[in-house]
Every structure is written in C-alpha cells, then in structure tokens.
Structure 1
Amino acid sequence: MPKSLALSAILLLAAAMLPGCASPAASRPHGASASSRHAPRVLLFTRTTGYRHASIPVGVQALRELARAEGIALIRSEDPALFDDASLARFDAVVFLSTTGDVLDETGQAAFERYVGKGGGYMGVHAAADTEYDWPWYGRLVGAWFDSHPQGLQTTLVRFEGDATTLAQDWQVTDELYNYRRNPRGTVKVIATVDESRYRGGKMGIDHPIAWCHARLGGRAWYTGLGHDAALYADPIYRAHLLRGLRYVTGRADVC
C-alpha cells in the first residue's frame, strides 16, 4: 500500500476512535434506530386547546424522574413552533402528555409526519387520544381516538398482555377510563385491557384495550389511556408502565 494511502487509513481509524465520533448510521437521531452511544433526547409536549388536565404538572414531574433515572434528556414545552424539521431532528421521541384539541397547525403536522416517517418515536398519555380529530394521520398514529368516559373516577382491573405481563397480574386501578371510537386491536399490539364488568360506563365490551403500541408509520408509537388522576403517577406499576413506553419509543427496548 502506498505510504499516503496507509497514512490516510490510520488517520481515519484514529478519528473513528475519538470520543463523540460515530458513523452516520450510528448518529441518526430518531428513536427507532437510535444508537446506544448517545443519551436519548425526548420532547415532552403538553399543549392544550381544550380541556386541561390538572394532573399535567404531576405527570411532567413523574416523566422527568423516570427519564433522569434512565439517562434520557427530557425537554418540556408547549411551543408548537418546535414542530419543524430542524427542531424535531434533535429528539429521539416526542411525548404528548394529555394534550387536547388542535395543538399543531398544518406546517407542524407535516413536519411531525416526516419525523415519524423517518423513525422518530411517539408516546401518547391519556388525553393524547383527545387531540387533533381533524388530522387522519394522527388518528392512525395514536391508534384510536377518545369517544367518552364514565362520570368521575372508577376502579377496575387492568390486565397486561404479552411481554407486559411482567409488570403485574390483575392490577387494580382507579382512574378516568376512556371509551374509544373503535377497538384498535388488529392494527396495533394491545398491551393492556380493562375489565368493564367491574365498573359502570364501559362501552367497548369484553375486549376493551387501554394501552397499545405499533410501528406502522415508520417510527415507534406507544399509547396508554391511563393517567387522568394525579395520584396514579405515584403508583409504581403505572410508573413502570410509563418507563416501558419511554424505553420503547427511544429505541432502548424492542418490546413495549
């Protein structure tokens, strides 16, 4: 090998070994293929243009604590201007925490579609399903839109499915229990259901999904309908449930 080529090869190898250097594939920011070489970054979006949940501050704090323990950098904002290509590229995933109503304009919607299509992660909590009813793509992303809920908080059993059964068996929960406009099973991987026979006001029957995930639109998506009541964020099983979501959408785990 000529000396000039040998020297070039050595310099390239040395550069690759320097801290912070990575191949383009390894440095790709989006969660679906995020490299373990960098700390994931998550945008926590809490904008509301409809009903505003009193539990949002408690939910923000819980997610901050979970992210910190997991080594995830979490940035909370209600600024829709962050939904452009350059800003979203800084994040491995975006969490919609009890957002309501129309939270993005058409420009932001288009940018978010591109972001997820390129592998960006999405995590929705509770009223994330009560958001953007006029945006069909978002309906496919969240999995199912909110339809109604019984009056007040009610208590039932949550049954986890698949890999999520490691969290608990027949977990008793008191929360606002959403009915959805359709049953998403068949288009998503359901990870938890609620038992309608134990409370009043359920409208989905014997199969009532309350949490699910999918990767149908290019990136990973994870949703839980639980999280209305602030007290739930102190429950260790619920916190473990949220952590599984964070890990899945940031690419830290392949199971949801």
Structure 2
Amino acid sequence: MKKVVKILLWSILTIIVLLGGAMSIFVYKVKNGFPVSYETESPKINFPANQPAVLLFSKSTGFRHSGSIDASKPIVADLAKKNGWFLYETEEGGVFNAEQLAKFKVVIFNNSTGRVLNDEQQKALEQYVENGGSLMGIHGAGDNSHHWDWYVQNLLGAEFSHHPIKPQFQKTDVLVDAKADSSITAQIPQPWSHTDEWYVFFENPRKKGFNILYTINGETIIPNGNIPLLASDKNFGMGKDHPVAWCKQIGKGKTFYTSMGHDESVWNDQNFVKLIENGINWTMK
C-alpha cells in the first residue's frame, strides 16, 4: 500500500513539474519569441502603376494569433480591391530593405509578435517611417515581445503589461475620443459594442503625445491578468481612460495602432473592419 501511495505521489509531482515547465516555456515565448532565422533575400514584386501599395506583414515568432491572421487576409484583400490598393502579403522579412519599402504607402504589422526583423531591417523600417512612410500595428503587434525601443516609442508610446485572464474576452463599448481625427472615425457608430482581449499597458500613450482615437472605460472590464505561480502583480488596469486605438506623426511619416484584433471574430465586426480601412486611408494622405 505504501509503495502504491509513493508511486502516486511521485507521479503527481512529475506532472506538476512538467506542467510548470511547459507554462514557463509558453511565457518565455510570449515575452521573447523563439530564436529565428531572418529572411534577407529581396522578393520579386511587380508594383502596378498608379496604385498605392500596402504591405501586410504577418510574421510572428512569439505567440501566434493564427485565427485573426488567417481571417484578416481575405478581408484586407477585399478592402484593397474596394479602394484600389495594391496589396502585397508576406511573412518573409526580405522585403524590409530601403528600395522596396519606399514603394509602399503603408506597412501593417498584422499581429506580428516576437523579433521578426534583424537589426538592418529594423533600421530600414525606422528610416522609411521617418522619411514619410507609414506603419500600422494590430493587436499582438503591441505586446512586449519585440524588444525594439524605436518601435515601442513611435508606434505604441507605452509598454505592454498584460491582458485579462478571467474572463479573457470581454464585451464593452468602444468610445470615440473627443479629439479624434474624424477621417479615421468616419462611418463608425458612436459608441459601438465590441468583444476582445483588452490589452493593458503600463502607461497611457496620451501622455506621450499620441492622438487617441478610441478608448474604452477601463472600469467596465475586469483587467486582472494574474497567473498562479507565474504572475502575481497583474491585477491592475488603466483606469477609466483606457485607449484602444491611437496615431501619431513621426518625422515625415505616420504611425497607427489598435490593441483590438485578437481572434477571427473581430473580422466579422464591420466597425472594426471600417476602423482598419479608415486607418489605412489616413496613412496614405
């Protein structure tokens, strides 16, 4: 009997250790991504004349939002047809060179997570924006796995902390900011109801000079992101003024970010899709 109990206890301990190890690996991947190779070969792209070009970049080396990424591609393709854009969709970083970037009106980090570009490619993107290009980010593009100071300062204006755990997805009203650019908020109801995984940041990008487009009332959600044994200090939110979409002029260029967009369901929300469409058109002005 004692032998059976001993075997059972060792089995339970082994399971706990394995689960703990698996969770630790998962958290590390979310925060840092896994080591990757960087694509450096420039692709062959035939840019049509008289069509503004959009680069939809969906590479991820951290947590992959596969549902949202897969759902977004046909939606953005439809928007491109509707608006007369040339859309180039890729997960290869070789396109991030000065010559080819200069031909795009906007680059979209479509739930891109982790380190996705090498140092030279990052520098090319920085110079592209500062010289007049535009960079957009959707949801996962704003997590803390990128480890890129320029990117955090100029696209996000804030450092990601966590997202709610229980419940992970919550429904609340998205509120237009009083000073929002009307060209980005056009044809979107005020307010509109939306369900998403609401990111919590340590700072409010409003304080860093970003133009806030949409907020939620952070007091209407449960922001607690604590994870037993792994994170015990994530039981805070951003307060009543909780931005969820913002933009800024960077040098001669522009940045636009929305923390909405976690899974495939958001691409069925026509208000969210309209925000993305308006945002792309705004970057092209």
TM-score normalised to structure 1 length = 0.80
Aligned to 1:142: 155
Q: State how far apart, in whole Å, the 2-side matches of 1:111 and 1:236 are.
A: 34
1:198 is the counterpart of 2:214:
no
Deviates more, 1:133-142 or 1:165-174: 165-174
Q: State how far apart, in whole Å, the 1-side matches of 2:217 and 2:100 are.
A: 41
Please report how far the alpha carbon of residue 229 of structure 1 lies from its aligned counterpart in structure 2 after TM superposition. Answer: 2.3
Q: State how far apart, in whole Å, the 2-side matches of 1:154 and 1:197 are.
A: 12
Please report how far the alpha carbon of residue 197 of structure 1 lies from its aligned counterpart in structure 2 after TM superposition. Answer: 2.5
**Alignment match of 1:179 (pick from 189, 200, 208):** 200
Q: State how far apart, in whole Å, the 1-side matches of 2:99 and 2:217 are.
A: 43
Unaligned runs of 5+ in 2: 1-48, 224-235
Aligned to 2:258: 224
Write out aligned runs for 1:94-113 (5 A): 94-113=107-126
Could you tell me whether the CA contact under 8 Å between 1:220 and 1:248 is conserved in 2? no
Could you tell me whether the CA contact under 8 Å between 1:193 and 1:209 is conserved in 2? yes
TM-score normalised to structure 2 length = 0.72
**Structure 1 counterpart of 2:221, which letter?**
Y
Could you tell me whether the CA contact under 8 Å between 1:160 and 1:167 is conserved in 2? no
Aligned to 1:127: 140
Could you tell me whether the CA contact under 8 Å between 1:133 and 1:145 is conserved in 2? no
Could you tell me whether the CA contact under 8 Å between 1:128 and 1:142 is conserved in 2? no
**Alignment match of 1:159 (pick from 151, 168, 175):** 175
Could you tell me whether the CA contact under 8 Å between 2:58 and 2:112 is conserved in 1? yes
Please report how far the alpha carbon of residue 165 of structure 1 lies from its aligned counterpart in structure 2 after TM superposition. Answer: 6.6
Q: State how far apart, in whole Å, the 2-side matches of 1:66 and 1:145 are.
A: 31
Q: State how far apart, in whole Å, the 1-side matches of 2:173 and 2:186 are.
A: 13
Q: State how far apart, in whole Å, the 1-side matches of 2:108 and 2:186 are.
A: 23
Deviations 1:82-141 (A, max 9, x none): 111112122111000000011111010111111111100111111111266421111122
CA spacing shift, 1:41–1:116, aligned 2, 3 Å: same
Aligned residues: 215
Please report how far the alpha carbon of residue 228 of structure 1 lies from its aligned counterpart in structure 2 after TM superposition. Answer: 0.6
| SS of structure 1 residue aligned to 2:260 | coil
CA spacing shift, 1:131–1:71, aligned 2, 3 Å: farther
Unaligned runs of 5+ in 1: 1-36, 252-256
Aligned to 2:10: none
Q: State how far apart, in whole Å, the 2-side matches of 1:219 and 1:58 are.
A: 28
Q: State how far apart, in whole Å, the 2-side matches of 1:75 and 1:65 are.
A: 13
Q: State how far apart, in whole Å, the 1-side matches of 2:136 and 2:92 are.
A: 17
Could you tell me whether the CA contact under 8 Å between 1:83 and 1:111 is conserved in 2? yes
Moved beyond 4 Å, runs of 4+: none
Aligned to 1:70: 83
Q: State how far apart, in whole Å, the 2-side matches of 1:198 and 1:102 are.
A: 33
Q: State how far apart, in whole Å, the 2-side matches of 1:107 and 1:132 are.
A: 18
**Structure 2 counterpart of 1:185, which letter?**
R
Deviations 1:199-236 (A, max 9, x none): 21161001100000111233111111111121111111
**Structure 1 counterpart of 2:62, which letter?**
G
Please report how far the alpha carbon of residue 173 of structure 1 lies from its aligned counterpart in structure 2 after TM superposition. Answer: 0.7
Please report how far the alpha carbon of residue 250 of structure 1 lies from its aligned counterpart in structure 2 after TM superposition. Answer: 1.9
1:39 is the counterpart of 2:51:
yes
| SS of structure 2 residue aligned to 1:220 | strand
| SS of structure 2 residue aligned to 1:237 | helix
Aligned to 1:168: 189
